Amino acid sequence: MPEIFKLGTRGSTLARTQSQQVADQLAAIGGFAVELVEIRTDGDVLTGPLSQMGGTGVFVTALREALLNGSIDLAVHSLKDLPTAPAPGLTTAAIPLRAEARDALCSRSNRTLSELPPGAKVGTGSPRRAAQLRAARGDLEVVDIRGNVDTRLGRLEKDLDAVVLAAAGLGRIGRSAAISELFDDTVMLPAPGQGALAVETAQGAPESLRAALVALDEADSRLAVTAERALLARLEAGCSAPVGALAQRRGSMLRLEAWVGAVDGSRVIRQARATDGLTEVAATLLGIELAEALLADGAAELI
Ligand SMILES: NCc1[nH]cc(CCC(=O)O)c1CC(=O)O
């Protein structure tokens, strides 16, 4: 009898798709079977404001409880939705190769940001995206939108000229053709961890599962998100703060760039730092160092 591991997932198309991709990769590496188990939260919570937002916090908690009580063996999270605080009893067992980290503009008639008409309506629910849109194009009308990726894209047929979404999410559900522009780092820095997944297990997971997860882990992706999340933690900010950060390996260096801004786009702070230490400790120190430089420039007033 082959081993069968249970992978807990949310029910959204994006969550199921990325969970299935990880399940297939792990099964191929480990020679075991992985089955998806949909984790639901109770009806009251599902109709509440958290579910409207994409419902990250409540689902992370539900998945973590299932890991701790042994009803699932592993869970796949979008790393940008995970709080930076450590989770007692759990391990981030793998950070697979990161997908595209950048944000994408999806617009009617395929226009780029600079081609949008004056006063165009652009949808996003993210203060970080709103702030960077306003800083780039003060004339835009930024409209607060909620819901899953398909719901947001659907607004292009209704009332909006464009929406901003993570390129990685669009790619995972096969909707990359909707992208009109991938935002350059100089226009919009992504959320810390965007485009990366975290595979979480309980401490003491079976050896065969742990070995396959080690093989799935990708060192440069782990280094980059470690630096970005250390910065976010030191700023004492969460996934809805107007904070953008992107770390990239360049040869023997890890470079981290970060952005903090007023939500109305009136004030922005941007700085970068690099380290030649390619270890998790060096990446963490890089994030802390850059956060402190931003705080010295007044970042705390903007968060
Ligand atoms: N907060 C919602 C969310 N969480 C993860 C992704 C997909 C991108 C990723 O995996 O980083 C998205 C959608 C979006 O931001 O457009």
Active site residue 159: no
| Residue 42, pLDDT score | 63
Q: Which residue ranges form the domains of the chain, and what is each CATH number?
A: 4-96+196-217 (3.40.190.10), 103-182 (3.40.190.10), 228-301 (3.30.160.40)
CA nearest neighbour of 83 among 60, 52, 50, 59: 60
Distance 249 CA to ligand 1 centre (A): 22
| Residue 54, pLDDT score | 44
| Candidate from 53, 56, 80 with most ligand 1 atoms within 8 A of CB, to mutate | 80
Distance 3 CA to ligand 1 centre (A): 32
- Report angle CA 91, 61, 240 to the nearest 5 degrees: 95
Distance 280 CA to ligand 1 centre (A): 24
| pTM given for the model | 0.93
Q: Each residue's pLDDT tens digit in the chain (303 positions)?
A: 679 999 999 999 999 999 999 999 999 999 999 999 999 886 444 443 334 344 568 889 999 999 999 999 999 999 999 999 999 999 999 999 999 999 999 999 999 999 999 999 999 999 999 999 999 999 999 999 999 999 999 999 999 999 999 999 999 999 999 999 999 999 999 999 999 999 999 999 999 999 999 999 999 999 999 999 999 999 988 777 899 999 999 999 999 999 999 888 789 999 999 999 999 999 999 999 999 999 999 999 998
Specify the residue with its C-alpha closest to ligand 1, atom 9: 195
Tokens of 114: 């600079």
Question: 152: phi > 0 → left, psi -120 to 50 → alpha, else beta; which?
Answer: alpha
| Candidate from 78, 152, 153, 183 with most ligand 1 atoms within 8 A of CB, to mutate | 78
Annotated catalytic residue, options 24, 44, 73, 81:
81
| Predicted complex: ipTM over 0.85 | yes
Distance 88 CA to ligand 1 centre (A): 25
| Residue 50, pLDDT score | 39
Specify the residue with its C-alpha closest to ligand 1, atom 5: 78
Distance 199 CA to ligand 1 centre (A): 16
Give the nearest ligand 1 atom to 194 CA.
11
| Ligand 1 pocket, Cβ-based, cut-off 6 angstroms | 54, 78, 80-81, 149, 165-166, 168-169, 194-195
Gap between the Cα atoms of 98 and 53, Å rounded: 23
Residues 6+ apart with CB under 8 A from 158: none
Gap between the Cα atoms of 206 and 96, Å rounded: 19
- CA distances to 18, 94, 112 from 77, in Å: 9, 11, 30
Specify the residue with its C-alpha closest to ligand 1, atom 8: 169
Give the nearest ligand 1 atom to 165 CA.
16
Gap between the Cα atoms of 114 and 151, Å rounded: 25
Specify the residue with its C-alpha closest to ligand 1, atom 2: 54
| Residue 160, pLDDT score | 98
Give 38-85 as a 3 state SS string. ECCCCHHHHCCHHHHCCCHHHHHHHHHHHHHCCCCCEEEEEHHHCCCC
What count of other Cβ atoms lies within 10 Å of the Cβ of residue 248?
Answer: 16
